[in-house]
Amino acid sequence: MSCVYLQISIAVLGACLLANVSECAGSDAQGVDVLSPREYQVFQRQSRYDGQVLVSGSVRPKCDKVEVRITGKSLKGELRGKWQRVPMAASTRAFNARIPVVPGGWYRVELRALDGSKVVAQAAVDRVGVGEVFVGAGQLLCGVLIGAIASSAGGGALGYREAFGTIAALVAVMVLASVGLANRRATAS
């Protein structure tokens, strides 16, 4: 029975991931297909004042260059918002670059494609950030683990008591291990 719950959990997780992937590829009505960044996307910073925004996608109309401008408030104040050239493959008009940015946001990322000096396509993505990115996968895995243990122990209140007892024991072991490591580090100093 627990195997069925685990399979259902994996199927639901897979469906959620596929739904999010289908929303990731965006298309702008003005000739630029933007793959990255997406609205409300946050990029992990490298240090307090160093970060990058991945800019990638493709341009539909004929052009000879792509430029990007990032505006908004960073940790050091307003960004200058200067247009920067982005490398582009001439045959496919695909572009992909990491643009250095001071952490902060929300930023506005503007892209434009030029044929000579004429703008032939453009796109903008609002609310892009650079900062700390945290992943909360542990909560989902713990939920799946509790469900699997509970169902294998007969379900109901008894099964969940068994599941939470197992999780409590695992947490206690991890806390004791971390205290032991902290003491070892303190005595080694």
Do residue 36 and residue 94 come from a single domain?
yes
DSSP run (H or E) holding 29: none
**Model pLDDT for residues 32-48, shown as the tens digit of each residue:** 999 999 999 999 999 99
Do residue 58 and residue 126 come from a single domain?
yes
The pLDDT value recorded for residue 34 is: 95
**Model pLDDT for residues 75-113, shown as the tens digit of each residue:** 999 998 899 999 999 999 999 999 999 999 899 999 999
Owner of token pair 């892009």: 128
Do residue 146 and residue 106 come from a single domain?
no
Q: Which residues contact 143 (CB under 8 A, 6 or more apart)?
A: none
Work out the burial of residue 53: count CB atoms within 10 Å of its CB; fewer than 13 is exposed, 13-18 middle, 19 or more buried: buried
Picking from 111, 131, 151, the residue at the C-terminal end of a domain is 131
Picking from 131, 155, 178, the residue at the C-terminal end of a domain is 131
pLDDT at 156 > cutoff 50: yes
Do residue 121 and residue 40 come from a single domain?
yes
Local confidence band at 139 (pLDDT 50, 70, 90 cut-offs): low
Do residue 37 and residue 88 come from a single domain?
yes
State mean pLDDT over 22-29. Answer: 40
The pLDDT value recorded for residue 140 is: 63
The answer as to whether 20 is a domain residue is no
Picking from 93, 113, 131, the residue at the C-terminal end of a domain is 131
Owner of token pair 């990255």: 36
Cis peptide before 37 (omega within 30 of 0): yes
Strands 51-59, 32-36: parallel, antiparallel or unpaired by DSSP?
antiparallel
| Higher per-residue confidence, 149 vs 119 | 119
Domain count, the chain: 2
The answer as to whether 17 is a domain residue is no
Domain that holds residue 6: 2-12+135-188
